[in-house]
């Protein structure tokens, strides 16, 4: 995977994960163009599209949030669709029925969960349990530290 | 949903309110104002006298990050973030790492500090800290980090006491570093241990390791080749596991789909395994995958089928990869033939999927032929009928199909279905490759006949039909083929069908004139029914409810045939060919077997209300042009109907059979090749009174789903249809050529070739155009010379043509000389568009 973007129906970027080195300027340009392209898609259109020399796999959540992945030509797009689904499941489990606000106000959690699931653009851990265990550990540590150090 | 993090209580809520304010800002200016206020606040806090405690630092760094992600640039806070790295509180470290991975800074002092912090965390032996550090390296992947850590990471990866979660992260971290700085990653000593990770107990470790190995082995395949057998056993274990075995790694009843896909990708980096045991295991694996693909789904959820299909597609990619590898062009037996017998219905699904996802038809032809080659036994009739249907309906892929089946037939151990498909396709389109001496008519015949005695009765019957088609296409083979037909094994064959065919074909070839033979054995017209018979078969299986969604609209076609223009008898070029177009042959001949809704068909041939106001239907020009050099084909198709035309011309008369087929109907199989559907045929008789340039228009009106639909098409009647080929000797040609030397009698055009400049195809087109092809007239053998006479009621126009190709420039020069200026111009125009 080259990058993953999460954005709202209004085109506001909620999460951006870049797995290839790009300058800030390039990132902004790609984001702008791709967001425009995906937002222009009609509901019945296919989840896959070709954009520049990449394949874009996207999924719309609750009609308000778009999850968008860019993969290379030889990558398997069907399984990428399931990567998105899995990530949503993880967020769902953690936040208890995730919505856009969760991702806004707990953006760092969204990133941490993503890092446990994907790393360097590749799938790392597909067990839901294991991913969430790692995240909950952090919360636990915080809990503990609050009790002892405050 | 809750917007509150557990355990942070009040503080977070406060922060949340501020953030919410920023979010809720009505205008961009208000938002910027609010943001700037916050930034100023944070700046002052950072510069303040009191050293901030870790918790506050974390809070403000987090806010800065949030503001950055909103889209505002941040130019401070890095130092504070780096400070957080050295905290021994996990969440503070976490935020610090997140900040510096998102806001990468190239300040060398900062980089030094960051690398230092990472080093400490890597050495800490605390798995969660180590993971944080590894994630950071993987996220940033800078050259400086690679320099600092590239040698450390492999060590962590293969160390015995490394925790699973750390191993996972280390593998992918190493992968990232390798991608950006391959020169800095020392692999040599770690290679075998990295490969060994494929055997790890922890699925997550294996998942990460496969990605790493797949990338590394591309540069050093030999170093990693031991991964193949390990990958196969891993895949085998996954694929044969019950859904409860892999527990949390089962995704909607599909065991470890991501890992399966990755393993299949890894295997595509290597040739098929040589070791018999490994090969056997792999074959079983692939068999299982293909089997599972056609089993009834364990879950209705789309995730289940997506995951299953993702694996299926990757498996097919692997099979195709192996096939290319194992089958060198010389035609050695494809070992894969022996490897893989998948059961029938999965092949059916693959064929449907291939058609659905086909990017272009030559790819589709390749895929189906590959399927036949690999899984011939299980390719049902529907599948190979379908590929023939498609090849016949699409002239752009006919030459390619002929070439491909010809090559496929070269294989010594060739599946019978391949012979069937090959026999049929060569019988129809063998002429397209006959120009090449390697695939000359006799070579084609011998190739097919060499398989004859190996085939079943049904296939032999098909081959006999091909033989008679060959006699028609290639008169030079007549003698040889007649010998075969005459032989005892054919005409005294025990099987009645074979005997009958041999006898009748023999007789036909001896008594029929070339004309009659040509008519009888004319090229197969395009199939009108667009719905795939394969799909129909599947639908049949699923039951009546699985019909198309459109069949509730009662089709009520009310076709109107309309000449559209006035006929005249003047010598100037006129639009319409004939007044006969209106009002003759009143009774339309409707074809049988149509479902009840077509009983509403009304054909009003007497109407002369011009409805040519409707513009031409889109895409018809292309179809129309295709008819210039051939008489049969599809004139128009959309989702509702298909209009095909079959025409015949003699002198100045022509007969067009226009058939309209209604599509998207619940079909019942009438015969396998042509699925039943409402079809209406209209016969038009045409007389050419004079030369003309405009084609007559056909307007079709019908009612569908309550609305009136209107389609206007150009009838494929062009003046060259009345072209009678004329043979003549070289000196006659040049005499006439000189006689037509007035400037207005010549039309010339130089144009770029828009199709491949294949000599056989060009000749076929010229013949299809109606011209005779004169050999040995032009001193340059590459040029084409033709002659003919346009037959109209009023006059006859002699035409000579010369087509000069320039292969290097991919261009042609076409010269037409006729006794009539308008004819020269128009013919030149028409013909130049065909190449």
pLDDT digits (tens, 9 = 90+) for B549-560: 222 222 222 222
Q: Assign residue B33 a region: left if phi > 0, alpha if psi is -120 to 50, beta otherwise?
A: alpha
Task: Indicate the residue of B142, B208, B257 with minimum beta-carbon distance to A79.
Answer: B257
**Is pLDDT of A66 > 60?**
yes
**What ipTM does the predicted assembly reach?**
0.90
Q: What pLDDT sits at residue B674?
A: 32
Q: What is the pLDDT of residues B212-267, one digit of tens each?
A: 999 999 888 888 989 999 999 999 999 988 767 788 898 988 999 999 999 999 99
User: Mind spelling out the 3-state secondary structure of B689-726?
Assistant: CCCECCCCEEEEEEEECCEEEEEEEECCCCHHHHEEEC
Chain B residues with CB inside 8 Å of A104's CB? 19, 23
Judge: A108–B258 Cβ closer than 8 Å, yes or no: no
Q: What is the pLDDT of residues B69-118, one digit of tens each?
A: 888 888 888 888 999 999 888 888 999 999 999 888 778 888 999 999 99
Task: Indicate the residue of B169, B261, B303 with minimum beta-carbon distance to A124.
Answer: B169
DSSP bridge pairs for A54: A51
Q: What pLDDT sits at residue B353?
A: 64
Q: What pLDDT sits at residue B241?
A: 84
Average pLDDT over residues A20-24: 87
Average pLDDT over residues B695-709: 73
Judge: A97–B62 Cβ closer than 8 Å, yes or no: no
SS3 B515: helix
Distance spanning both ends of chain B, measured CA to CA? 65
**Is pLDDT of B571 > 50?**
no
**Is pLDDT of A86 > 90?**
yes
Q: How sure is the predictor about A79, in pLDDT bands with cuts at 50, 70 and 90?
A: very high
Residues at the binding site of B are: 45, 55, 59-63
Name the residue of chain A whose CA is nearest to B94's CA: A112
Q: What pLDDT sits at residue A16?
A: 92
Q: What is the pLDDT of residues B359-374, one digit of tens each?
A: 567 777 777 777 777 6
**Is pLDDT of B685 > 50?**
yes
Residue B797: which H helix or E strand, with range? Answer: strand B796-806
φ, ψ at B135 (rounded to 5°)? -60, -40
Chain A residues with CB inside 8 Å of B71's CB? 13
Task: Indicate the residue of A119, A139, A143 with minimum beta-carbon distance to B138.
Answer: A119
Judge: B131–A134 Cβ closer than 8 Å, yes or no: yes
Angstroms from A118 CA to nearest CA on chain B:
9
Q: What pLDDT sits at residue B356?
A: 62
Name the residue of chain A whose CA is nearest to B264's CA: A76
**Is pLDDT of B614 > 60?**
no
Given a contact cutoff of 8 angstroms between Cβ atoms, the answer to whether B558 and B703 are in contact is yes
Angstroms from B247 CA to nearest CA on chain A:
9
**Is pLDDT of B415 > 70?**
yes
Q: What pLDDT sits at residue A68?
A: 94
Q: What pLDDT sits at residue B610?
A: 37
Least confident of A137-141, B402-406, B729-733: A137-141
Chain A residues with CB inside 8 Å of B215's CB? none
Name the residue of chain B whose CA is nearest to A3's CA: B139
Could you identify the residue written with the tokens 């179809």?
B623
Angstroms from B305 CA to nearest CA on chain A:
10
**Is pLDDT of A22 > 70?**
yes
Based on C-alpha coordinates, what's the Rg of chain A?
16
Judge: B165–A130 Cβ closer than 8 Å, yes or no: yes
Distances (CA, A) of A121 to A21, A98, A117, B178, B184: 12, 23, 10, 13, 20
Least confident of B321-330, B378-387, B459-468, B805-814: B321-330
**With pLDDT > 70 as the criterion, what percentage of chain B qualifies?**
77
Chain B residues with CB inside 8 Å of A105's CB? 3, 16, 19-20
Q: Which residue has the higher pLDDT, B352 or B185?
A: B185
Q: How sure is the predictor about B32, in pLDDT bands with cuts at 50, 70 and 90?
A: confident
Q: Which residue has the higher pLDDT, B358 or A107?
A: A107
The structure tokens listed for B285 are: 């694996």
Chain A residues with CB inside 8 Å of B168's CB? 119, 124-125
* Best of A72, A108, A130, A135 to mutate (most B CBs within 10 Å, chain B): A108
Helix B90-102, helix A107-117: angle, nearest 10? 90
Q: What pLDDT sits at residue B147?
A: 92
Angstroms from B341 CA to nearest CA on chain A:
25
Angstroms from A64 CA to nearest CA on chain B:
15
Task: Indicate the residue of B3, B98, B128 with minimum beta-carbon distance to A102.
Answer: B3
* Best of A120, A121, A140 to mutate (most B CBs within 10 Å, chain B): A120
Given a contact cutoff of 8 angstroms between Cβ atoms, the answer to whether B361 and B396 are in contact is yes
CA atoms within 13 A on the CB side of B663: 16
* Average predicted confidence (pLDDT) for chain B: 76
Distances (CA, A) of B67 to B16, B44, B173, B194, B557: 13, 16, 28, 41, 63
Output the DSSP codes for A104-137.
Answer: HHTHHHHHHHHHHHEETTEE----HHHHHHHHHH
**Is pLDDT of B308 > 80?**
yes
Angstroms from B7 CA to nearest CA on chain A:
6
Q: Determine the Cα–Cα distance for residues B260 and B310; give it in Å rounded to an integer.
A: 9
Judge: B256–A76 Cβ closer than 8 Å, yes or no: no
Length of chain A: 150
Least confident of B59-68, B351-360, B469-478, B662-671: B662-671
**Is pLDDT of B268 > 80?**
yes
pTM score over 0.90:
no
Q: What pLDDT sits at residue A116?
A: 92
**Largest Cα–Cα separation, chain B:** 113
Distances (CA, A) of B469 to A38, B466, B485, B792: 53, 5, 13, 32
**Count of A–B CB contacts within 8 Å?**
152
Angstroms from B55 CA to nearest CA on chain A:
10
Judge: B94–A138 Cβ closer than 8 Å, yes or no: yes
Taking residue B49's Cβ as centre, other Cβ atoms within 10 Å add up to 4
Q: Assign residue B567 a region: left if phi > 0, alpha if psi is -120 to 50, beta otherwise?
A: beta
Contacts with B751 (C-beta within 8 Å, 6 or more apart), sequence order: B811, B812, B814, B832, B835
Sheet of A54-61, strand order: A13-18, A3-8, A65-71, A54-61, A48-51
Contacts with B312 (C-beta within 8 Å, 6 or more apart), sequence order: B289, B290, B293
Q: Determine the Cα–Cα distance for residues B120 and B113; give it in Å rounded to an integer.
A: 11
The structure tokens listed for B676 are: 């039943």
Chain B residues with CB inside 8 Å of A126's CB? 203-204, 207, 249, 251, 256, 258-259
CA atoms within 13 A on the CB side of B247: 8
Output the DSSP codes for B521-580.
Answer: TPPPPPPS--S-HHHHHHHHHH-GGGS-TTTTS-EEEE-B----S-----SS-BS-S-GG
Q: What is the pLDDT of residues B314-362, one digit of tens each?
A: 888 888 888 766 554 443 333 343 344 444 445 666 666 666 666 567 7
Task: Indicate the residue of B62, B169, B251 with minimum beta-carbon distance to A108.
Answer: B62
Helix B344-357, helix B381-393: angle, nearest 10? 20
DSSP bridge pairs for B708: B703
Name the residue of chain B whose CA is nearest to A140's CA: B7
**Is pLDDT of B186 > 70?**
yes
Based on C-alpha coordinates, what's the Rg of chain B?
37
Degrees to nearest 5, angle at CA B67 with B61 and B72 = 125
Residue B362: closest CA among B323, B329, B403, B401: B401
Task: Indicate the residue of A95, A112, A122 with minimum beta-carbon distance to B2.
Answer: A95
Average pLDDT over residues B467-476: 88
Strands B632-637 and B589-590: unpaired
**Is pLDDT of B752 > 60?**
yes
Judge: A137–B16 Cβ closer than 8 Å, yes or no: no
Q: What pLDDT sits at residue B392?
A: 81
Q: Which residue has the higher pLDDT, B317 or B702?
A: B317
């Amino acid at each position: 995977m080259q990058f993953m973007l999460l954005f709202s129906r209004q085109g506001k970027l909620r999460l951006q994960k870049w797995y290839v080195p790009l300058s800030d300027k390039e990132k902004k340009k790609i984001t702008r163009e791709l967001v425009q392209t995906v937002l222009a898609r009609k509901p019945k259109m296919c989840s896959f599209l070709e954009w520049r020399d990449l394949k874009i796999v996207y999924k719309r959540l609750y009609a308000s949030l778009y999850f968008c992945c860019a993969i290379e030509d030889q990558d398997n797009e069907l399984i990428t669709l399931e990567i998105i689904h899995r990530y949503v499941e993880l967020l769902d489990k953690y936040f208890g029925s995730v919505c856009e606000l969760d991702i806004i106000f707990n953006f760092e959690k969204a990133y941490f969960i993503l890092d446990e699931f994907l790393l360097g653009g590749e799938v790392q851990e597909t067990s839901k349990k294991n991913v969430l265990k790692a995240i909950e550990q952090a919360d636990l540590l915080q809990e503990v530290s609050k009790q002892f150090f405050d | 949903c809750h917007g509150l993090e557990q355990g942070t209580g009040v503080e977070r809520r406060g922060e949340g309110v501020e953030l919410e304010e920023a979010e809720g800002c009505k205008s961009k200016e208000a938002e910027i104002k609010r943001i700037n206020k916050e930034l100023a606040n944070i700046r002052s806090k950072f510069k303040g006298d009191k050293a901030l405690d870790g918790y506050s630092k974390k809070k403000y760094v987090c806010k800065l990050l949030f503001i950055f992600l909103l889209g505002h640039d941040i130019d401070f806070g890095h130092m504070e973030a780096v400070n957080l790295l050295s905290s021994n509180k996990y969440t503070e470290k976490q935020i610090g790492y997140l900040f510096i991975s998102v806001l990468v800074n190239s300040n060398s002092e900062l980089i030094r500090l960051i690398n230092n912090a990472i080093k400490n965390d890597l050495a800490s032996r605390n798995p969660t800290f180590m993971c944080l550090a590894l994630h950071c390296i993987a996220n940033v992947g800078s050259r400086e980090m690679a320099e600092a850590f590239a040698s450390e990471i492999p060590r962590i990866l293969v160390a015995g006491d490394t925790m699973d979660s750390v191993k996972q992260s280390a593998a992918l971290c190493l992968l990232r570093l390798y991608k950006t700085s391959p020169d800095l990653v020392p692999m040599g000593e770690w290679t075998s241990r990295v490969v060994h990770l494929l055997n790890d107990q922890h699925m997550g470790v294996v998942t990460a390791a496969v990605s790493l190995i797949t990338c590394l082995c591309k540069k050093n395949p030999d170093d990693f080749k031991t991964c193949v057998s390990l990958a196969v056993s891993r895949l085998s274990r996954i694929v044969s596991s019950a859904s409860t075995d892999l527990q949390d790694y089962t995704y909607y009843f599909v065991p470890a789909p991501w890992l399966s896909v990755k393993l299949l990708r890894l295997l595509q980096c290597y040739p098929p395994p040589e070791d018999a045991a490994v090969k056997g295991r792999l074959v079983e694996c692939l068999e299982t995958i293909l089997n599972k693909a056609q089993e009834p789904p364990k879950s209705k959820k789309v995730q289940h089928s997506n995951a299953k299909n993702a694996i299926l597609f990757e498996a097919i990619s692997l099979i195709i990869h192996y096939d290319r590898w194992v089958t060198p062009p010389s035609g050695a037996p494809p070992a894969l033939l022996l490897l893989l017998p998948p059961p029938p219905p999965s092949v059916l699904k693959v064929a449907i999927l291939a058609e659905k996802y086909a990017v272009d038809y030559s790819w589709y032809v390749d895929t189906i032929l590959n399927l036949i080659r690999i899984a011939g036994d299980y390719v049902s009739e529907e599948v190979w009928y379908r590929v023939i249907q498609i090849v016949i309906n699409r002239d752009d892929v006919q030459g390619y199909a002929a070439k491909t089946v010809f090559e496929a037939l070269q294989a010594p151990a060739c599946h019978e279905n391949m012979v069937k498909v090959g026999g049929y396709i060569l019988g129809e389109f063998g002429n397209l490759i006959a120009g090449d001496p390697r695939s000359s008519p006799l070579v084609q015949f011998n190739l097919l006949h060499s398989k004859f005695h190996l085939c079943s009765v049904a296939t032999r019957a098909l081959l006999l039909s091909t033989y008679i088609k060959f006699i028609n296409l290639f008169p030079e083979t007549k003698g040889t083929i007649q010998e075969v037909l005459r032989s005892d094994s054919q005409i005294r064959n025990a099987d009645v069908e074979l005997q009958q065919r041999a006898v009748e074909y023999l007789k036909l070839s001896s008594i029929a004139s070339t004309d009659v033979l040509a008519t009888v054995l004319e090229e197969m017209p395009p199939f009108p029914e667009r719905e795939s018979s394969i799909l129909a078969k599947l639908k049949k299986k699923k039951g009546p409810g699985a019909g198309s969604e459109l069949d509730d609209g009662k089709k009520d076609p009310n076709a109107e045939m309309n000449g559209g223009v006035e006929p005249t008898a003047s010598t100037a070029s006129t639009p319409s060919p004939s007044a006969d177009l209106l009002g003759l042959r009143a009774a339309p001949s409707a074809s049988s077997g149509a479902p009840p809704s077509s009983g509403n068909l009304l054909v009003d041939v007497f109407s002369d209300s011009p409805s040519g106001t409707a513009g031409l239907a889109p895409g018809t020009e292309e179809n129309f042009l295709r008819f210039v050099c051939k008489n049969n084909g599809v004139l128009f198709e959309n989702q509702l109907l298909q209009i095909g035309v079959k025409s015949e011309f003699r002198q100045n008369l022509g007969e067009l059979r226009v058939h309209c087929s209604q599509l998207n109907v619940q079909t019942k199989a009438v015969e396998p090749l042509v699925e039943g559907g409402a079809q209406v045929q209209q016969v038009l008789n045409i007389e050419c009174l004079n030369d003309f340039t405009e084609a007559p228009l056909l307007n079709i009106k019908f009612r569908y789903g309550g609305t009136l639909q209107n389609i206007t098409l150009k009838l494929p009647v062009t003046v060259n249809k009345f072209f009678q080929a004329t043979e003549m000797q070289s000196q006659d040609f040049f005499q006439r050529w000189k006689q037509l030397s007035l400037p207005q009698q010549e039309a010339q055009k130089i144009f770029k070739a828009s199709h491949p400049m294949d000599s056989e195809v060009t000749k076929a087109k010229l013949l299809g155009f109606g011209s005779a092809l004169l050999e040995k007239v032009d001193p340059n053998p590459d040029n084409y010379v033709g002659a003919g006479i346009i037959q109209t009621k009023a006059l006859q126009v002699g035409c000579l043509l010369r087509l000069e190709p320039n292969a290097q420039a991919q261009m042609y020069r076409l010269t037409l000389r006729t006794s009539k200026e308008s004819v020269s111009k128009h013919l030149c125009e028409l013909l130049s568009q065909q190449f």
